[in-house]
Structure 1
Amino acid sequence: MTFVSNSILNTFDLMKKFKGISRFLLLLFTVAFVFGSCKEKQSEPQKTTTDSLLKPSYAKGFYIEKKDGYTLLKVTKPWPHATKTFTYALVPKGNKKPDGNFDAVVTTPVSKIVATSTTYIPSLEALQVENTLVGFPDTQYISSPNTRKMIEEGKIKELGANESINTELVIDINPDVIIGFSINDQNKTYATIQKTGIPVVYNGDWAEETPLGKAEWIKFFAPFFNKEKEADSIFNYIEKNYLKAKQLVAERTEKPTVLCGAMYKDVWYLPGGKSWMAQFLADANTNYLWKNTDETGSLKMTFESVYDMGVDADFWIAPGQFIAYNQLTQENNSYKNFKAFKNKKIYTFSNTKGPTGGLLYYEMAPSRPDLVLKDIIYYLHPDALENYTPHFFKTLE
């Protein structure tokens, strides 16, 4: 039976409510893939185990094994260049803790959770378990109306900054699990919390290099709440929409040239050729001028090098934090020489904000790449989508 969460189906309406709101973090597919459809291993005569391996189709940073009496969650890439695999046992209430060495043991289903990244909020809401969220660092960056209401009602505690979470508050809340975000294994705060007996589980959605890979981390959250079937259906829905949008422009021979990023101090940051954004631009059938670079993160360029290659680009996507043409020229008058500037073909997500100023793109785009792809197609191939309203990107003011 197909299940698609009302939260996912209502995303379009939720996003429309943000239109017009003025002001770190992210951006889901074929019908054939079903994450929960796996093959059970043939049981040997002397064994009664029902172990089965559940590997995502796109995400590279985690996989799940259904063991006899518990779920084994392995996070292989919590951050780029991670050398350790983190192993977590998710044990149903009433079941015996399994033998073995685990980085954390979590009793399921979880009833109280602390999240540490806004990118986790859409997954919790899509699975309809946002009511389990009891703590979050830097709650000001959360934009979701449903979760903001819980914050205002005092149901979600402010825990300070992610790298220095208020451990006393965490101990007082006593969550069943903390879903942690970190750039390396040197987070001393998490180590302190774990010593109190509160399990910390790393999430590495941000380290994924493809749009669908990031979105598939909804399946990471599913076993904490016994929501595997729901997560499968939600992801399949998003995946189907993404691939359908990609197919709309796949056969076009004319590929618009694209420039990205902008100067910050003395460096022009733009997406590497194997980055998340570069994949969006490839799937939108565009010619991203730095597509042949090998970086999975950001490129760091001089103004002159970007100018030489990108001055005649047809479009300029995501120009940093700039939201208006006059802001660009105030920062550097030479921006006006770019073709995309002259033709008013610059598009940004930085002026689509939540009620407290958080950028919706950073919170929602990783879980809804189908919407991101449609936004890009809408602007770069204007005739491909009829009666479409962009969700994240807007024309520069």
Structure 2
Amino acid sequence: MLQKHLLIYISIFVLLFTNCKEDGAKTKPLPNVIETNLNLNYAKGFSIKDNGNFKVLTITNPWPKADKNYRYALITKENAAKTTLNKDEFNGIITIPIQNIVVTSTTHIPALELLNEVETLVGFPGTDYVSSIKTRQRIDDGLVRELGKNEGLNTEVLLSINPDVVVGFGVDGKSKSLNTIKKANIPVIYNGDWVEKSPLAKAEWIKFFGALYDKEQQADSIFKSIETSYKDAKQLAKTVTNQPTVISGALHKDVWYLPSGTSTEAQLLKDANLNYLYADTEAAGSLALNFESVFAKAKQANLWLSPSYYSSMDELKEANPHYTQFDAFKNNQVYSFTNATGATGGVLYYETGFARPDLVLKDIIKIGHPELLKDYKPYFFKVLK
């Protein structure tokens, strides 16, 4: 009899155990991780993948001919408490939204302002180059520490600030000061906006900063507004048939440097419906030509844009009397962005030009087609006097 009861108990136990497993399988499915990628229409140098509990920011092209990618995990404090990440898989793990930041290029400043995150900036190398009124006020109030030069950061001051992240600008990844910062366990992210091949691609890097501040939607909205403004200006320029001819650059130690036809500068001139005389050239960097070849090709050019660092016609003439033989010089049609500066001499174009290519395009359209954008006042470019 005991043996019979034992068999019954065992049968019931097996039945219950089996049912529990089946019920558990039905009510507690394994979680599925749905990965989504941030929508990027132009930028090629970075990507962002949302894994649910955290995001992965990948920098794919921080400088020309970069041979490796840099991966960073972006995670909120809430998710960090319940998520285990393998540090060996990333170049840095960053808690977002970041509370304080060091950036190293003036091109990074506009993104902070557009996202209303200027107050998070705690250090910058070469603060005199910053022209933004809001950021300059914080610098003048002593809220942004001076960090020396970009190529040799004052690591002692930077380490004392202890920012959540340093957004670096590098040409080869061999910066000793940035490597020192990494060893102190402060994440360094290389920003490659300057390597991008089109004006809108450079501007789209605001989404990079949007991810750091957990403001992707706001960054996307800001970029769409800039993109629409750019496209509208480009479409307006197409309504005219005349294409003034354009030359750019100037001599530096007997070599005339000017943008290649594949540069963002050339793209802006094309979108402004101007005839850039070197639009059919291809080069990774600037073209380097002698004076004679440029003079033969561009003597009769209608417009001369960005004549190096010269800020007046007298300076141009003193640098080389042969400049006066160009028609653009004779007709006072030489334009430069060097005269649009901030309170401490920083050039606005070098700070805001990347972030607002729509304004740059409108400036050039206003110069080449003055009958368009009648009420528009150029933001960067001014005629040399």
Which one-letter code corresponds to 1:214 in the other structure? K
The one-character-per-residue Cα deviations of 1:170-219 (angstroms, maximum 9, x if unpaired) are 11111000000001111121111111111101100111121101100000
> Quick one: structure 1 residues 108 and 50, their matched pair in 2 at CA, closer, same or farther if it must change by over 3 Å?
same
2:288 paired with 1:304:
no
CA distance in 2, matches of 1:340, 1:269: 18
Per the TM alignment, residue 46 of structure 1 is displaced from its structure 2 partner at its CA by 5.2
Q: How does 1:358-369 map to 2 (within 5 A)?
A: 358-369=346-357
CA distance in 1, matches of 2:241, 2:365: 15
Which one-letter code corresponds to 1:48 in the other structure? N
Structure 2 residue aligned with 1:101: 89
Structure 2 residue aligned with 1:371: 359
Structure 1 residue aligned with 2:211: 223
Structure 1 residue matching 2:93: 3-state secondary structure: strand
Structure 2 residue aligned with 1:242: 230
Structure 1 residue matching 2:151: 3-state secondary structure: helix
> Quick one: structure 1 residues 97 and 198, their matched pair in 2 at CA, closer, same or farther if it must change by over 3 Å?
farther
Per the TM alignment, residue 98 of structure 1 is displaced from its structure 2 partner at its CA by 2.0
Structure 2 residue matching 1:125: 3-state secondary structure: helix
CA distance in 1, matches of 2:112, 2:193: 14
Per the TM alignment, residue 271 of structure 1 is displaced from its structure 2 partner at its CA by 0.5
Structure 2 residue aligned with 1:165: 153
CA distance in 1, matches of 2:215, 2:162: 23
Q: Is the 8 A contact 1:276 1:296 kept in 2?
A: no
Structure 1 residue aligned with 2:373: 385
CA distance in 1, matches of 2:72, 2:186: 13
2:78 paired with 1:90:
no
2:121 paired with 1:137:
no
RMSD between superposed Cα atoms in Å? 1.2
CA distance in 2, matches of 1:144, 1:176: 23
**Bigger mean CA offset, 164-173 vs 367-376:** 164-173
Structure 1 residue aligned with 2:49: 65
Structure 2 residue aligned with 1:77: 61
2:137 paired with 1:153:
no
Q: Is the 8 A contact 1:109 1:225 kept in 2?
A: yes
**Bigger mean CA offset, 49-58 vs 219-228:** 49-58
Per the TM alignment, residue 81 of structure 1 is displaced from its structure 2 partner at its CA by 1.3
Greater per-residue helix proportion: 2
Which one-letter code corresponds to 1:131 in the other structure? E
The one-character-per-residue Cα deviations of 1:303-360 (angstroms, maximum 9, x if unpaired) are 1111111111111011111121111111111111101111111111011110000100
Per the TM alignment, residue 56 of structure 1 is displaced from its structure 2 partner at its CA by 1.1
Pairs aligned (count):
353
Structure 2 residue matching 1:105: 3-state secondary structure: strand
Q: Is the 8 A contact 1:273 1:296 kept in 2?
A: no
**Bigger mean CA offset, 147-156 vs 90-99:** 90-99
CA distance in 1, matches of 2:199, 2:253: 29
Structure 2 residue aligned with 1:330: 318
Q: Is the 8 A contact 1:79 1:207 kept in 2?
A: yes
Structure 1 residue matching 2:148: 3-state secondary structure: coil
Which one-letter code corresponds to 2:302 in the other structure? D
CA distance in 2, matches of 1:68, 1:104: 18
CA distance in 1, matches of 2:31, 2:298: 63
Per the TM alignment, residue 97 of structure 1 is displaced from its structure 2 partner at its CA by 4.3
> Quick one: structure 1 residues 197 and 333, their matched pair in 2 at CA, closer, same or farther if it must change by over 3 Å?
same
Which one-letter code corresponds to 2:37 in the other structure? L
Per the TM alignment, residue 47 of structure 1 is displaced from its structure 2 partner at its CA by 4.6
Q: Is the 8 A contact 1:319 1:347 kept in 2?
A: yes
Q: Is the 8 A contact 1:115 1:178 kept in 2?
A: yes
Which one-letter code corresponds to 1:241 in the other structure? S
